[in-house]
Amino acid sequence: MNDLSNAALRDHQSSAFKPIPSLVLYILAPIFFLGLSVSIFILIVVRNALFFVSFLVLSALVFAFVVWNKRHWAKKAAFFLFLDSLPESDLRLAQHGQLVKITGIASCESLSLESSYEKATGCIYASTLLYEYRGLTRQPVNINRSCFQWHLAYCERFSTDFYLTDQKSGLRANVKAGSGCKVIPLVVESKLVNTKRCRLLSPHLRKWLSERNLSSESRLLRLEEGYVQEGSSVTVFGMLHRNNEITTIVQPPEVISTGCLWRKLLLPVDIDGLILRVSHLAQHSANPNSIQ
């Protein structure tokens, strides 16, 4: 079993500037204020607004570009576009050491996972995220519009080795997503719980929190969960290994870049691990927009 919880927390904490390097933002900030000062000086002394207007337009374009990339980074859009651009590989023809994209039906090995909150069994991947709302005021808030103030307080994310039956050839490969493997999950978590201020938590949620030594006080919480069960259609991107008659897909040995996706105005993103994508998202029994 592969514990991805700490990696998920690190990614969430370090995502403030991604995919824009923080050094670039530190350089752009003083350049902006310098350009603003010069443009205002020219506007007042020379009484020419052309430079000032041009500076504002250029600044707005740069700001929009940064926000666009930041927003799509949170949705992992570059990973989805990169994966969609690759052709499907055939296990019968793929060579040892080749990077492959295989789509097929997943099945468990000797070890399977169980989702933390919904207790879904027979999973090859399970992720449960608990967010806390950390506002600056005590005023009531619209939890559907306050996404920028949600903080990831707790995370459980695991993956394990599994079998993947290639839909093209019918051959089965062993996917190494277990211990020691870096996994990039393209699995969208469903919102299972949204709490309102000054309302008691449900017994099930209280029990779940107490089992993990988390506070069960009434507060704004959002719990999301996503999992991939046996029998799901899964797409995997990794490196193919052949050893006699055993076919294995492992994480690429080196970091791969998606390259600049200029058609979508997206900056390059590094791929450091095995990509796991669900072709057809499992439908949870709970209403994804339910409010508790």
pLDDT (0 to 100) of residue 123: 92
pLDDT digits (tens, 9 = 90+) for 253-285: 888 888 888 888 888 888 888 999 987 544 443
pLDDT in tens, 175-213: 998 888 889 999 888 888 777 654 667 888 888 888 888
Q: Which residues are CB-neighbours of 228 under 8 A, at least 6 positions away?
A: 106, 123, 124, 125, 126, 187, 234, 276, 278, 282
Q: How high is the pLDDT of residue 124?
A: 92
pLDDT tens, 68-121? 888 888 788 888 888 888 899 888 888 888 999 999 999 988 888 988 888 889
Task: Report d(CA 227, CA 119) in Å as an integer.
Answer: 10
Q: How far does the chain reach from its first CA to its final CA, in angstroms? A: 32
In this predicted structure, the answer to whether residue 140 has a pLDDT above a threshold of 50 is no
**Would you call 102 helix, strand, or coil by DSSP?**
strand
Q: Where do we find the tokens 């201020």?
A: 197
Q: For residue 91, what is the enclosing H or E element? A: none
- Delimit the domains of the chain by residue range: 2-13+86-278, 22-73
Task: Please say if the pLDDT value at position 162 is more than 90.
Answer: yes
Residue 248, C-beta contacts closer than 8 angstroms, at least 6 positions apart: 173, 174, 175, 176, 240, 241, 242
Task: Name the pTM for this structure.
Answer: 0.79
pLDDT tens-digit series, residues 3-42: 888 877 777 766 555 777 777 778 888 888 888 888 888 8
